[in-house]
């Protein structure tokens, strides 16, 4: 079992691979490089027997086309860059999956980068992708301003904004109607008899938070014609579990005590649920709770969490579609594809 003297002999690396070029293939097949190229790109214009011979040579040499050389000669890079805020966030990975599913069928390979909200990292990645001559970019901008993307625009790199509306018609974009989403959640609670509502929201600097609040106001206006409802907004510094947990105290101290808590996202809601559980408040019997995002685990909690679903995968597909149009269609016009959020009612808000 154990070797005599030395440790187990490490196996030497495989014999160094000499890159095979189209020239090598040509030599083996006994044709010119032009013919090999033709076999690869327009097989129909070359004689049957020659084609077979060349294909055979490709096989035997293990030739793999060099896309860089191909592209240099005027070809396409077959590459799309995707820049998201956080790869660890399921919302973004779902979007990535959607985009990939569409672009993969067109032969594209995706470059993915995660900025974690850093404008500097974003700039670096975009730069690197431009150097790689990506044919397009799908991006969730890190900054509130789109100035960082000006280069892409002036250089004419097809770009689609993810979950962010372009201010002018500078870019295509795919978004979800957050106003509508906020309205859906609030209205649902009103309609199931909750007239005193606590709305746990994040900082106003976040567009999503602003929009969702606006949706809540809309629901209030519409419902208050027939019923008297009251909404108290409770602001927290960030959309995290901890912030949700910490806010419970304030909610329970409110007078009159609300009968429902609407949270600006699922993580907050999760924190709220934990806070309530530790204080023996039952959900939904004593207090109803809703979240937003419909993260995968929401349905697995007890009680399962009512939430507002965003069609992340479809967003990715739509973004890919817009990009493809911009790449191929000379008459392309920028536009915004807006998705509708969907209320998913579960136990946590069931009457």
Partner DNA sequence: TTGAAAGCGCTAACAA
Partner DNA sequence: TTGTTAGCGCTTTCAA
Which three-class secondary structure state does DSSP give residue 221?
Answer: helix
23 and 45 Cβ atoms separated by less than 8 Å:
no
Cis peptide before 284 (omega within 30 of 0): yes
Instruction: Specify the residue, 171 or 339, whose C-beta has the smaller distance to a copy of itself.
Output: 171
Q: Is 64 in the site for a copy of itself (CB under 8 A)?
A: yes
Q: Which stretch binds DNA (CB under 7 A): 43-51, 114-122, 175-183, 333-341?
A: 43-51
DSSP string, 44-97: GGS-HHHHHHHHHHHHHHT----HHHHHHTT----EEEEEES-TTSHHHHHHHH
Give the ranges where 62-206 is alpha helix by DSSP (H).
Answer: 67-72, 90-104, 119-131, 150-154, 178-191
The DSSP 8-state label assigned to residue 205 in this structure reads: T
Q: Which stretch binds DNA (CB under 7 A): 34-42, 176-184, 250-258, 285-293?
A: 34-42
Q: Is 350 in the site for a copy of itself (CB under 8 A)?
A: no
Which three-class secondary structure state does DSSP give residue 342?
Answer: strand
Instruction: Specify the residue, 128 or 254, whose C-beta has the smaller distance to a copy of itself.
Output: 128
Instruction: Pick the binder of DNA from 5, 73, 155, 225 (CB under 7 A).
Output: 73
Instruction: Pick the binder of DNA from 52, 60, 62, 75 (CB under 7 A).
Output: 75
**Nearest-approach distance from CB 81 to DNA, in angstroms:** 18
Instruction: Pick the binder of a copy of itself from 107, 256, 280, 351 (CB under 8 A).
Output: 107
Packing angle, helices 178-191 and 207-223, rounded to 10: 40
What are the φ/ψ torsions at residue 230 (nearest 5 degrees)?
-135, 130
Instruction: Pick the binder of a copy of itself from 207, 218, 332, 350 (CB under 8 A).
Output: 332
Q: Is 79 in the site for DNA (CB under 7 A)?
A: no
**Nearest-approach distance from CB 137 to DNA, in angstroms:** 19
Task: Tell how far CA 39 is from the center of its chain.
Answer: 39
Instruction: Specify the residue, 4 or 73, whose C-beta has the smaller distance to DNA.
Output: 73
Diameter over CA atoms, the chain: 90
Instruction: Specify the residue, 222 or 278, whose C-beta has the smaller distance to a copy of itself.
Output: 278
Q: Which helix (H) or strand (E) holds 331?
A: none
Q: Is 74 in the site for a copy of itself (CB under 8 A)?
A: no
**Nearest-approach distance from CB 261 to a copy of itself, in angstroms:** 16
**Nearest-approach distance from CB 232 to a copy of itself, in angstroms:** 25
- Please choose which of a copy of itself, DNA, none residue 203 contacts, taking the beta carbon within 5 to 8 angstroms, the exact cut-off set by kind: none
Instruction: Pick the binder of a copy of itself from 21, 50, 93, 214 (CB under 8 A).
Output: 93
Burial of residue 255, with CB atoms counted within 10 A of its CB: 0-12 exposed, 13-18 middle, 19 or more buried: exposed
Q: Is 47 in the site for DNA (CB under 7 A)?
A: yes
Q: How many CB atoms lie within 10 A of CB 102?
A: 18
Residue 49's contacts (CB-CB under 8 Å, 6 or more residues apart) are none
C-alpha span between 195 and 288 (Å, rounded): 11
3-state helix, strand, coil in the chain (%, to 5): 45, 15, 40
Q: Which stretch binds DNA (CB under 7 A): 15-23, 81-89, 204-212, 291-299?
A: 15-23
- Where do contacts with DNA occur on this chain (CB under 7 A)? 19, 21-23, 30-38, 40-42, 45-47, 49-51, 63, 65-66, 69-70, 72-75
- Where do contacts with a copy of itself occur on this chain (CB under 8 A)? 10-11, 13-14, 16-17, 62, 64-69, 71-72, 77-79, 87-88, 90, 93-94, 96-97, 100, 104, 107, 109-114, 121, 124-125, 127-133, 151, 153-156, 168-170, 241, 270, 273-274, 277, 295-297, 300-302, 332-335
């Amino acid at each position: 079992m154990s070797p005599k003297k030395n440790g187990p002999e490490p196996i030497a690396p495989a014999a160094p691979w000499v890159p095979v070029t189209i020239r090598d293939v040509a030599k083996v097949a006994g044709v010119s490089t032009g013919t090999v190229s033709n076999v690869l790109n327009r097989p129909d214009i070359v004689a049957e027997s020659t084609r077979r011979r060349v294909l055979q040579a490709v096989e035997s040499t293990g030739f793999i086309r060099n896309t860089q050389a191909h592209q240099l000669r005027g070809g396409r890079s077959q590459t799309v860059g995707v820049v998201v805020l956080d790869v660890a966030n399921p919302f973004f990975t779902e979007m990535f999956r959607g985009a990939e599913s569409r672009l993969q069928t067109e032969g594209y390979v995706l470059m993915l980068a995660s900025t974690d909200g850093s404008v500097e990292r974003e700039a670096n990645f975009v730069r690197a992708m431009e150097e790689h001559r990506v044919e397009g970019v799908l991006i969730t901008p890190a900054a509130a301003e789109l100035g960082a993307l000006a280069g892409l625009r002036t250089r004419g790199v097809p770009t689609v904004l993810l979950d962010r509306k372009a201010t002018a018609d500078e870019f295509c974009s795919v978004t979800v109607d957050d106003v509508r989403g906020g309205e859906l959640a609030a209205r649902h609670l009103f309609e199931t008899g909750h007239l005193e509502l606590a709305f746990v929201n994040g900082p106003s600097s976040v567009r999503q938070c602003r929009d969702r609040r606006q949706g809540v106001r809309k629901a209030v206006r519409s419902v208050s014609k027939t019923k008297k409802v009251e909404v108290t907004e409770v602001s927290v510094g960030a959309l995290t579990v901890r912030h949700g947990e910490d806010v419970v105290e304030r909610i329970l101290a409110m007078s009159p005590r609300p009968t429902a808590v609407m949270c600006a996202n699922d993580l907050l809601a999760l924190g709220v649920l934990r806070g309530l559980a530790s204080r023996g408040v039952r959900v939904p019997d004593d207090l109803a709770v809703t979240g937003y995002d419909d993260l995968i685990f929401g349905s697995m909690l007890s009680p399962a969490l009512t939430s507002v679903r965003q069609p992340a995968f479809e967003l990715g597909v739509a973004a890919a579609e817009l990009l493809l149009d911009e790449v191929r269609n000379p008459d392309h016009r920028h536009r915004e594809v807006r998705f509708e959020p969907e209320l998913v009612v579960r136990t946590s808000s069931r009457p």
